[in-house]
Structure 1
Amino acid sequence: MTAVALLSTAVACSSTDGPPSVTVPTPTARETALCRALHKELPKTLAELARSDPRPRSELTAGWGDGAIVLRCGVPRPERMSDPQAQGVEANGVNWMLEERDSGPRFTTTYRETYVEVTMDERFTHDSTPLAALAAPVEETIPSSL
């Protein structure tokens, strides 16, 4: 019984809080260079959330608020982008395709030389403020494909 109690205590003390784990994209060398430039320009805070990059650490990913907002650069073109009914938003000159999910919205840049994906938790379902804050770094580092 003591071993079970000890194991239960160890499990209870281990924390899953902190940055989430995400899949790191595998873009081309050119896209990777663009993503590295973007990574250097990303803000330390976003929507009043502190920078908290996901695991594993990569110049292709960034995060704020322990997973509340996660950015992945160099992602593949989403299938949904071919859908003429796909919804889009514009934030400070950058166009994003919107995918509504139960866990919160996912946005992917459109008309850029590489795709940048931003997932947000449900508190941002009707708030594109983080996209507006990310527009300048995206505009500066990820050229338009038009």
Structure 2
Amino acid sequence: MPRVLLAVLGLILLAGCSPGPVRVAVPSPGPEVATACGPLMEALPAKVLDGERRDTEPVSPFTAAYGDPPIEVTCGVSAPAGMAQAQSQCFEVNGVGWFAKEAENGIVFTTIGRAVYLEVAVPSEYAPEANALTDVSDAVHRFNKLVFPCT
């Protein structure tokens, strides 16, 4: 009997340590962008920077999260303030152009020169934050059509 009690207590403790769903703002893209985001989001990896994929709240096909603190990925967002398309400074990671903007607790990266905007918000605890882009760039390269190159 004591072994069963210890096993139950162990499960309760493990369940209490699991991070819950991540609250992520859900964009409202038009039909064409929403259609393009589907395969892209499905192609995202199971892990980003060794962080497991987590549930998001509300549940949406446009959002994903990884690790704790969460790295948030959102497809179908608007262009961020300060990004002026081809004139904005960008840098490439595995053939994908990114625009970077400092946020309150990290950096928000947005694809640049692609058919749809994909945003990756990386907390400063993961510095250098751009390393997270390596894990998602393959999906972006395959499922987010290049419109103009990063310059």
Please give the TM-score of this superposition, normalised by the length of structure 2: 0.78
State how many pairs are aligned. Answer: 132
- CA root-mean-square deviation: 2.3
CA distance in 1, matches of 2:93, 2:86: 20
Tell me by how many angstroms 1:83 deviates. 8.9
Q: CA deviation at 1:101?
A: 2.1
Shift of residue 141, structure 1, vs aligned partner:
0.7
Q: Which residue of 2 aligns with 1:47?
A: 49
Structure 1 position 84, deviation (Å): 9.2
Rate the CA distance shift 1:87–1:96 in 2: closer, same or farther, 3 A. same
Structure 2: give runs of 5+ residues left out of the alignment: 1-15
Pair 1:137-2:139 in alignment: yes
Structure 1 letter corresponding to 2:111 = T
Structure 1 runs of 4+ off > 4 angstroms? 83-87
Q: Determine if contact 2:71/2:120 at 8 Å carries over to the other structure.
A: yes
1:72 and 2:68 are equivalent in the alignment: no
- Within-5 A mapping of 1:122-133: 122-133=124-135
Are 1:18 and 1:66, in contact at CA under 8 Å, matched by a contact in 2?
no
2:25 alignment counterpart: 23
Identity %: 32
Q: Which residue of 2 aligns with 1:119?
A: 121
Give, in whole Å, the separation in 1 of the partners of 2:92 and 2:72: 19
1:111 deviation in Å?
0.4
Could you say if the C-alpha distance between residues 81 and 50 of structure 1 is closer, same or farther in structure 2, counting changes exceeding 3 Å? same
12, 36, 39: which is aligned to 1:37? 39
| Conserved 8 A contact 2:99-2:109 | yes
2:61 counterpart of 1:59: yes
Q: Distance in 2 between matches of 1:127 and 1:65?
A: 13
**Where does structure 1 lack aligned partners over 5 or more consecutive residues?**
1-13
User: TM-score when scaled to structure 1?
Assistant: 0.81
CA distance in 1, matches of 2:126, 2:85: 24
